[in-house]
Chain A
């Protein structure tokens, strides 16, 4: 049985159709990257996986159960920004997940439990390369380091799935390459299922095990909200060719232009 099963999912806001009839099965441990033009429902889809948003029609099943309709500790998330808590140091940010679970009233631990939580957090910080900065506050970190911290913070809960919403969109290209390495390593070590939304087609093409392209299949020039996006490509990564990359790129850019025209 597949781990994630998306069945006939639609998402509409008033008369605007964002996603139409999404069907998808994902196995445990896959690394799915999602690309597409802006406004094609990539982030909406991720929000539904997170529980922040619910499908208008259809259901998403996880291990045979309908997904809970609010975020929980089974699903980790890293946003493009604001994923870490500015008032906590690096170490405190990572320890937080353990503390919240260990003390349901105050969300704080002391003594032996606290030391155990700190040890666990330090191991993760070492894995993401942040141990030397453990006493810094997030604002003292660079953008890439903040995203490393956000990853470590999520992974302490050992989530069944990790959702990444354009996590490297705001980073420099060089840093981004380092982050790709890191995500791949963490994915292999943790064995978690990853869904990553990205705006960067190339990133989607070379990272992970599976590529989904969200795109509008029909355009009504008089009613841009009439038709939603669907999954136009579902490709195993590694078996892709340059020609296909160009074709997808062409599609995405065309949709982007049409959307741009409607906005203008």
Chain B
């Protein structure tokens, strides 16, 4: 018998094993739900799949009686828009600040520790300040996500820039590059895949801030809906929304990884 650490599953077995936990969760839910519903058919805590399906049809494929909108898609679009704009702004800010701090000592001296301190401010703690300063509209929600993720991305990019071997920077200078050219021809292309990594890592936090902001002040959005229907203990709506958010996050993560692999083949290598 080999040691445990040397036992590897076959490819097919690996797939089955990967799906197993999901199947277990679904099965556990069905059993628990059936047990509770058998005792009390009006139980709201663990609705049956049929009830959940009805809720999905009601929200996603039927016009809302009051507004005439498809609430599920309205919420999805509103949330994705906020998240998308905020993440783009964050990535851009993080990239510019990170490259500046990483490459130029005269920028690093004043701003590096400043950014480090800013990144320690808990964004949720200053959410009220954002609402007061930027109002209850879209801007404050986007700002919350930006404040929560941009400093992290900036620090990560700064670190990555400083990890680029000094030999390369010197070599570029001997090839007649000025500072700007070094930034855009040597540093920028090399940190782009790392920026994608940083964005992937910060997406979790971005969703957290998005849902928090929507829960507090919003009129549509995935987070808003979840917190709205919580008052009626509408688990039949909350559960599919949570699954949908998870799926969106998962797809975003896979998508970013795929983009990175296609655009930066040299980055995904065995190593020099």
Interface residues, chain A, with chain B CB atoms under 8 Å away = 50, 52, 70-73, 75-77, 79, 81-87, 96-97, 99-101, 104-108, 137-139, 146, 150, 153-154, 156-157, 159
Contacts and interface: CB of A to CB of B under 8 A. Distances in A.
Interface residues of B, number: 27
A192 B109 CA distance: 39
A20 B144 CA distance: 58
Given A86-B266, A157-B176, A159-B174, 15 more contacts: A73-B175, A73-B176, A77-B171, A79-B167, A81-B167, A85-B186, A87-B266, A87-B267, A96-B185, A137-B269, A138-B266, A153-B175, A154-B174, A156-B175, A157-B174
B190 interface: yes
B189 interface: yes
B104 to A, nearest CB: 14
Contacts of B186: 85
Contacts of B181: 100, 104, 107
Contacts of A146: 272
Contact of A96 (B175, B266, B272): B175
Interface in B160-212: 165, 167-168, 170-178, 180-181, 184-186, 189-190
Main secondary structure on A side of the interface with B: loop
Contact of A82 (B167, B185, B267, B271): B167
**What 6 A-B pairs have minimum CB-CB distances, sorted nearest first?**
A82-B165, A71-B173, A73-B176, A82-B167, A97-B175, A107-B181
B269 to A, nearest CB: 5
B270 interface: yes
> Which of A50, A84, A107 has the most C-beta atoms of chain B within 10 angstroms of its own C-beta?
A107
A226 B177 CA distance: 39
A78 to B, nearest CB: 8
A22 to B, nearest CB: 22
B174 A72 contact: yes
> Which of A82, A84, A97, A99 has the most C-beta atoms of chain B within 10 angstroms of its own C-beta?
A82
Contact of B176 (A97, A138, A139): A97
Nearest to B271: A139
Contacts of A108: 185
Contact of B184 (A72, A85, A107, A153): A107
Given A72-B176, A107-B185, A139-B272, A153 B190 contact: no
B77 interface: no
B176 A85 contact: no
Nearest to B183: A107
Given A86-B266, A87-B266, A105-B180, A157 B175 contact: yes
Contacts of B180: 105
A192 B171 CA distance: 18
> Which of B167, B172, B174, B189 has the most C-beta atoms of chain A within 10 angstroms of its own C-beta?
B174
19 contacts: A50-B174, A52-B170, A71-B170, A72-B176, A73-B174, A81-B167, A82-B167, A84-B171, A85-B190, A86-B190, A87-B189, A87-B264, A87-B266, A97-B175, A100-B185, A105-B180, A137-B269, A139-B270, A157-B176
